[in-house]
Amino acid sequence: MAEKSFKYVIVGGGVAAGYAAREFAKQGLKPGELAIISKEAVAPYERPALSKAYLFPEGFARLPGFHCCVGSGGERLLPQWYKEQGIELILSTEIVKADLAAQTLLSAAGEVFKYHVLIIATGSTVIRLTDFGVQGADSKNIFYLREIDDANKLIEVIKAKKNGKCVIVGGGYIGLELGAVMKMNNFDVSMVYPEPWCMPRLFTADIAAFYEGYYANKGIKIIKGTVAVGFTADANGEVKDVKLKDGRVLEADIVVVGVGGRPLMTLFKGQVEEEKGGIKTDGFFKTSVPDVYAVGDVATFPMKLYGDIRRVEHVDHARKSAEQSVKAIKATEEGKSIDEYDYLPYFYSRSFDLSWQFYGDNVGDTVLFGDNNPTSPKPKFGSYWIKNGKIVGAFLEGGNPEENKAIAKIARLQPPVEGLEELKNEGLSFACKI
Ligand SMILES: Cc1cc2nc3c(=O)[nH]c(=O)nc-3n(C[C@H](O)[C@H](O)[C@H](O)COP(=O)(O)OP(=O)(O)OC[C@H]3O[C@@H](n4cnc5c(N)ncnc54)[C@H](O)[C@@H]3O)c2cc1C
């Protein structure tokens, strides 16, 4: 098999790869210097669309509409753009072996790729119920959502099982977004999760109560405090029932599972330092191996603002870490230096006509403000997190761009607060006046 050699290789063709490519082009790139190798068959795209507009029954999003970098208001990089830049997009190509000492990658088809600088951007994979040996979890029409192929398969079955029953397993953001789009597709939706409320890693009980109430008003049944322990299939092998630990049985034509992900780093096991379940990097996304960088979901990096190290599985960090790594690569080549990554955590989600944003850290005391009545015609509410007398995190549902900017600013500046009661009364205006 032929061997191909590049100055820079990005392994993984997701969000981080798209933003890294744009940054390379901005910084100056010669034709043939950069290759992106991706298991997926399409150029880098904005992955969050897959659980939102991609699954809408009407007015749905389709490629090429959401290629990177439209998600952050940037230029849409079509396959043609990569060609014009002389960037080689090597698609439908899975790397199965990486030899970091020999600076070599091997694909499933036996192609060999050599590089001088490698950016690892392999993202995450979903956790499957089959991983835990859940009975019947390999039945047909049980879906996970990570890549565009997964979404396409789900759309086919949505059409085939019109107006059917859907069970969502998991109450995280994937579960909540999928619950909403399946309802919009006119399915009878039940959501099952073991925790006392949805999105427990971020939401307080008060925040969650709003979303659970809103979903219930839309006709979605929420079953908490139990888990799916088995599935039964019909004669065609298609799922028909979900068995719950508490003994209940739910009928299902489609099951969507969103129980978390894990970073895809097996290729590099034993070759690179790891920390907190990810590939350890510095504030420039350099790993322990010279000329090897890791960005996006796989990177465990110094979170300067909080003086610790973290891994973040959100799209904003995928974009920014990718740009930072390319700036660092170029600066190193030119003998220059750049500032260390100084990231303010930012997550968001959208479902139905709801939209929330969160900035900062969700630790310490909390204060809820605004109207969180799920039956309000235009609910708008938020929460602050307060640690050591300072605001460290802020959440806002239904904010406009100015208000969202204000909560981002407050999470970054961490102003002191007089008292929790005053803060509650001031609510959003506290952030807006800073
Ligand atoms: C359905 C969905 C909805 C989401 N919604 C939101 C949201 O609303 N807000 C938010 O903040 N975040 C959201 N996220 C998370 C966000 O999309 C990720 O954090 C982001 O995509 C990470 O970027 P990445 O480049 O590190 O990885 P990815 O975008 O996952 O890209 C990794 C790429 O590497 C490829 N790859 C992996 N292994 C190999 C290999 N061995 N060989 C070749 N190619 C390989 C994969 O096929 C993939 O193309 C969502 C994620 C999903 C799945």
Report pLDDT digits (tens) over 234-293: 999 999 999 999 999 999 999 999 999 999 999 999 999 999 999 999 999 999 999 999
* Residue minimizing CA distance to atom 48 of ligand 1: 14
Going from the Cα of 98 to the center of ligand 1, the distance in angstroms, rounded, reads: 20
* Residue minimizing CA distance to atom 31 of ligand 1: 14
What is the Cα–Cα distance from 47 to 67, expressed in whole angstroms? 9
Structural domains in the chain, CATH included, are: 3-125+262-333 (3.50.50.60), 129-259 (3.50.50.60), 353-432 (3.30.390.30)
Going from the Cα of 363 to the center of ligand 1, the distance in angstroms, rounded, reads: 26
* Residue minimizing CA distance to atom 15 of ligand 1: 314
Going from the Cα of 259 to the center of ligand 1, the distance in angstroms, rounded, reads: 15
Residue 2 has what pLDDT? Answer: 74
Average pLDDT over residues 169-187: 97
118, pLDDT greater than 80: yes
Going from the Cα of 313 to the center of ligand 1, the distance in angstroms, rounded, reads: 8
Residue 1 has what pLDDT? Answer: 62
User: Tens digit of pLDDT for each residue in 387-423?
Assistant: 999 999 999 999 999 999 999 999 999 999 989 999 9
* Residue minimizing CA distance to atom 50 of ligand 1: 48
Going from the Cα of 335 to the center of ligand 1, the distance in angstroms, rounded, reads: 32
Of the candidates 104, 81, 83, 85, the residue with the CA atom closest to the CA atom of residue 11: 104
Report which ligand 1 atom has the smallest distance to the Cα of 51. Answer: 1
ω before 64 within 30° of 0 (cis)? yes
User: Tens digit of pLDDT for each residue in 2-56?
Assistant: 799 999 999 999 999 999 999 999 999 999 999 999 999 999 999 999 999 999 9
Residue 434 has what pLDDT? Answer: 86
Element (H, E) at 9: strand 3-11
Give CA torsion, residues 226, 229, 234, 238, to 10 deg: 90
Q: CB under 8 Å to 180, separation ≥6 — which residues? A: 215, 218, 220, 351, 352
User: Tens digit of pLDDT for each residue in 343-373?
Assistant: 999 999 999 999 999 999 999 999 999 999 9
- Which of 122, 265, 344, 355 most suits a substitution to test ligand 1, by most atoms within 8 Å of the C-beta? 122
- Average pLDDT of the chain to the nearest whole number: 97
What is the Cα–Cα distance from 347 to 173, expressed in whole angstroms? 10
Going from the Cα of 296 to the center of ligand 1, the distance in angstroms, rounded, reads: 8
Going from the Cα of 44 to the center of ligand 1, the distance in angstroms, rounded, reads: 10
* Residue minimizing CA distance to atom 2 of ligand 1: 48
Average pLDDT over residues 142-161: 98
Going from the Cα of 45 to the center of ligand 1, the distance in angstroms, rounded, reads: 9
Going from the Cα of 316 to the center of ligand 1, the distance in angstroms, rounded, reads: 11
Q: Give me 290's structure tokens.
A: 């010279």
Give strand ranges (E) for 345-402.
Answer: 346-351, 354-360, 365-371, 380-387, 390-397
Going from the Cα of 295 to the center of ligand 1, the distance in angstroms, rounded, reads: 11
Going from the Cα of 379 to the center of ligand 1, the distance in angstroms, rounded, reads: 31
Report which ligand 1 atom has the smallest distance to the Cα of 47. Answer: 17
User: Tens digit of pLDDT for each residue in 50-87?
Assistant: 999 999 999 999 999 999 999 999 999 999 999 999 99
- Which of 15, 37, 39, 47 most suits a substitution to test ligand 1, by most atoms within 8 Å of the C-beta? 47
Ligand 1 cavity residues, CB under 6 Å: 11-17, 37-40, 47-48, 50-51, 94-95, 121-124, 145-147, 174, 264, 267, 296-297, 313-316, 318, 347-349
Going from the Cα of 46 to the center of ligand 1, the distance in angstroms, rounded, reads: 8
* Residue minimizing CA distance to atom 30 of ligand 1: 123
- Which of 23, 315, 395 most suits a substitution to test ligand 1, by most atoms within 8 Å of the C-beta? 315
Q: Give me 231's structure tokens.
A: 């599935």
Q: Give me 288's structure tokens.
A: 């322990």
Q: Taking phi first (over 0 means left), then psi (-120 to 50 degrees means alpha), and beta for anything else, what does residue 38 get? A: beta
- Which of 9, 10, 11, 15 most suits a substitution to test ligand 1, by most atoms within 8 Å of the C-beta? 15
What is the Cα–Cα distance from 187 to 162, expressed in whole angstroms? 7
User: Tens digit of pLDDT for each residue in 191-247?
Assistant: 999 999 999 999 999 999 999 999 999 999 999 999 999 999 999 999 999 999 999
